[in-house]
């Protein structure tokens, strides 16, 4: 079993920055893929970024490429999402997800473990 807890969300003005954290516990050694997704009111859950644990490969949605950075701290069992140059359209609940396999990172239904989400609101 893997448990995920997101933190770091909040209210920020357009152009500002936030860093989200995803702290994992439980059987963390089994994790092979960690992703960030977001869901805004009236929209489908959207892929944001992901990282492969063994290869350290990273993936980004076109909408956030160049602005967001996913990284990890193995000692803390934590994955981060650094969000810079935030836009109002980035407003959403952000979720951390993890899986034990090398899955297609953009497909949310393939992830087995999910956090509760953290709200990010970007004002204009």
What is the secondary structure of the chain as a DSSP string? -EEEEEE--EEEETT--EEEEEEEEESGGG--EEEEEEE-TTS--EEEEEEETTT--EEE-TTTTTTEEEEEEGGGTEEEEEE-S--GGG-EEEEEEEESS---TT-GGG--EE---EEEEEE-
| pLDDT given for residue 108 in this prediction | 95
What does the pLDDT profile of the chain (124 residues) look like in tens digits? 999 999 999 999 999 999 999 999 999 999 999 999 999 999 999 999 999 999 999 999 999 999 999 999 989 999 999 999 999 999 999 999 999 988 899 999 999 999 999 999 999 9
| pLDDT given for residue 102 in this prediction | 87
């Amino acid at each position: 079993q893997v448990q995920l807890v997101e933190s770091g969300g909040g209210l920020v003005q357009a152009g500002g920055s936030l860093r989200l954290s995803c702290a994992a516990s439980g059987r963390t050694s089994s994790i092979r893929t960690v992703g960030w997704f977001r869901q805004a009111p009236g929209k489908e859950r959207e892929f944001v970024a992901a990282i492969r644990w063994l290869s350290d490969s990273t993936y980004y949605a076109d909408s956030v490429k160049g602005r967001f950075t996913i990284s990890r701290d193995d000692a803390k069992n934590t994955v981060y999402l650094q969000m810079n140059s935030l836009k109002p359209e980035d407003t959403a609940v952000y979720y951390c997800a993890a899986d034990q396999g090398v899955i297609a990172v953009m497909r949310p239904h393939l992830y087995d473990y999910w956090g509760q989400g953290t709200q990010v609101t970007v004002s204009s």
